[in-house]
Amino acid sequence: MRPAAPRNSVQPVTDASALLSAFDAQARPAEWTVLDPGAEVHRDGPVFRVSWPRRSGFVGGPPHLGVDGPALDALIARQRDHFAARDQAFEWKTWSHDTPADLPERLTAAGFEPDGRETVLIGLAEQMATPVHLDGVVLREVADEQDVHRLAATATEVFGRPHDWLVDRLVEKRDDPNMIAVLAEADGRVVSSSRIEIVPGTEFAGLWGGGTLAEWRGRGIYRALVAYRARLAVSRGIRYLQVDATEDSRPILERLGFVAVTTTTGYVWNPTG
């Protein structure tokens, strides 16, 4: 049995500003405090630099960095130089409500490339847990490594880019109770896939993936996967579900009751230019 998250008597918040405050206080710091084995974390002033042996690095910090102008440029340069010495790519993740507001422009000037903007939406797990009826489609949790490869193959087809990294991550985390992969099958084929990642010690879980093959869209599969994962979250005492949504999934999530609280953009620096 998976361990339940601690419960308390505080009522969940539902307005956008309060949801954003809860996200900033709980889920966001997990980017540099709740880490996989082998990760190294170094603090440089207001930001945290995370390195893995065989993965791209990551830089993140609080909503208000407290530095600007030349001091911010120097902070950016130090992170870039650190990963350049390792010959390692990395992402500096930004959110639109952060300050200073010109951080994205300064990252671009330092040689970083934006990797697409997504909308951060947050919803109450209990409100999202109602099952969705599907005709001819079965939802189930990933059972073995063969399932992992089938899931990644579908994600590669849906998103148009290789998902070998997802195979490595799911195999590595197969015994981690805080990550659960869920797939949708029809006619013996994986037609959609997703995962939920519980953020330990918080009221949050992240919903990731959810890509559906083109010919199977419009049948409620995405909504059903959200509901399935919401029930998993509720069973663990999780209150809030967070999604970094594309423009394809954002309207669906808003109709379900998710609230848009900010946008996020990753800025990527690559030693190969």
- Domains detected in the chain: 16-118+265-269 (3.40.630), 123-263 (3.40.630.30)
What is the pLDDT at residue 175?
A: 86
pTM beyond 0.85: the answer is yes
Of 42, 43, 110, whose CA–CA distance to 70 is shortest?
A: 110
For residue 25, give the DSSP letter: I
CB of 210 closer than 8 Å to CB of 194: yes
Tokens linked to 193: 């896939």
Return the amino acid letter for 187.
D
Tens digits of per-residue pLDDT, 251-273?
999 999 999 999 999 999 999 87
From CA 251, how far away is CA 45, in angstroms rounded? 38
Return the amino acid letter for 133.
H
CB of 18 closer than 8 Å to CB of 9: no
Q: Which parts of the chain sit beneath pLDDT 50?
A: 1-9
For the sheet with 47-51, list strands across it.
40-44, 47-51, 57-60, 90-95, 259-269, 113-124, 240-245, 204-212, 189-198, 179-186, 138-141
Tens digits of per-residue pLDDT, 198-234?
999 999 999 998 889 999 999 999 999 999 999 999 9
The strand ranges marked E within the chain are 40-44, 47-51, 57-60, 90-95, 113-124, 138-141, 179-186, 189-198, 204-212, 240-245, 259-269
From CA 241, how far away is CA 197, in angstroms rounded? 10
